[in-house]
Structure 1
Amino acid sequence: MRAWVLGVCGAVMVVAGVAGPAGAAAGPEADLSFHGSAVMNGDQVEVRVSPHNDGPAAVPGASVQLRWSVPLADRQLLPAGCARTDERTLVCDTGALDEDGTGEEIAVAVRLAGAPSEFTLEVDTAWNGGAVDRDRSNDRLKVLVLDTGDAYAF
């Protein structure tokens, strides 16, 4: 028997099931990737993320996790489709992703707590619509962002 733990916005659900035959895929195969940039000006940060699916299957919906190495300010005005999951993390909906398709750019502006001169941003798939992604190297990214006003690409 296998158990899966799914976390969504702080809630945890455990799903138990019987494993299928050896080598059987859990769902359709899709290769998600994220590209974008982050800019820091004082305590203000703007992150832009473009989700992409290299296929071979479409994904009915997915979400990207953005995690800062420093805490975010307590009060944030987040775009629709984004939710804060803890003091350093946001999860944003990518919407459906066609095979070999790019989703709409996600633009998030946040304020950081304190006055850091730099932070590390980790970008990762939070949910991939139940697809199997055999290449996780292009959807788990880290970028060091300095308080220079320059865009740091990932």
Structure 2
Amino acid sequence: MEVVAVRRGAVRSVVVAGLLVLGATGNAQARSGPEADVAYHGRVSLSQGQLRVWLVPQNEGPSAVPNATLRIRLSADLADRQQLAEGCARAGLRQVVCETGAMPLRGRGRHIGLLLRLRERVPEVVVRIDTWWDGGAADRNLSNNEPAVLALDTGDTYAF
């Protein structure tokens, strides 16, 4: 794994990524421990090679999640230099990971806003969001925490 750009506060995300590479976490379905139902809601827009992503992680329970890491995967390469939000780190040519912060039962994590520059202007980009590390909680309802959004280079906003 190559981390190209890291801002202050993103160190935990990078450490978590290393744990995942080493296999320190297993299938959430097979794990015992607290159970949570994490979902991601937000919007994306693409305009002239810049992708705006705004999202809020939400936990429907039945247990609180002390912290988790979400992953944003793109169908286009990111530009070499990025100014990422605190708690976020680049995790490859097309990926960014961000900490969610604590998510109480039936509560929200921190709001995450990113302006990602693409390597070159493309007519569209697919944005996929998923949980990369779940803080030890089991999430048996994966249907609401793996959104995929197609954003056209029109400046229009697409919600998920």
**Aligned-residue offset at 1:24:** 8.2
- Unaligned segments of structure 1, at least 5 residues: 1-6, 17-22
Q: TM-score, normalised by structure 2?
A: 0.83
Specify the alignment match of 1:79 in structure 2: 85
For structure 2, the residue ranges without an aligned partner over 5 or more in a row are: 1-14
Seen in structure 2, the aligned counterparts of structure 1 residues 150 and 24 have a Cα distance that, compared at 3 Å, is closer
Task: Tell whether the 8 Å contact from 1:64 to 1:126 is kept in structure 2 after alignment.
Answer: yes
Q: Following the alignment from structure 1 to structure 2, what is the Cα–Cα distance between the partners of residues 15 and 152?
A: 35
Q: 1:32 aligns with which of 38, 54, 62?
A: 38
Count of residues in Structure 1 that have an aligned counterpart in Structure 2: 143
Q: 1:61 to 1:117 in 2, by over 3 A?
A: same
Say which structure is richer in strand: 1
Q: TM-score, normalised by structure 1?
A: 0.86
CA distance in 2: counterparts of 1:153 and 1:50, whole angstroms: 12
Contact between 1:37 and 1:152, CA under 8 Å: does it hold in 2?
yes
Deviation at 1:27, TM superposition (A): 0.9
- Identity among equivalent pairs (%): 46
- Shift in Å at residue 77 of structure 1? 0.6
Bigger proportion of residues as helix: 2
Of stretches 64-73 and 25-34 in structure 1, the one that deviates more from structure 2 is 25-34
C-alpha displacement of 1:104: 2.2
* Structure 1 residue 128 displacement after superposition: 1.2
Q: Deviations over 1:97-148 (max 9, x none)?
A: 0010012210011100111010000010111111110100000110000011
Q: CA RMSD in A?
A: 2.1
Structure 1 residues 36-61: Cα deviation after superposition (integer angstroms, max 9, x where no partner): 00011101111001100000000010
> Which residue in the other structure is 1:108 paired with?
114
Structure 2 partner of 1:42: 48
Specify which of 103, 110, 134 is matched with residue 140 of structure 2: 134
In structure 2, do the counterparts of structure 1 residues 48 and 24 end up closer, same or farther at CA, with 3 Å as the change threshold? closer
Indicate the residue corresponding to 2:97 in structure 1. 91
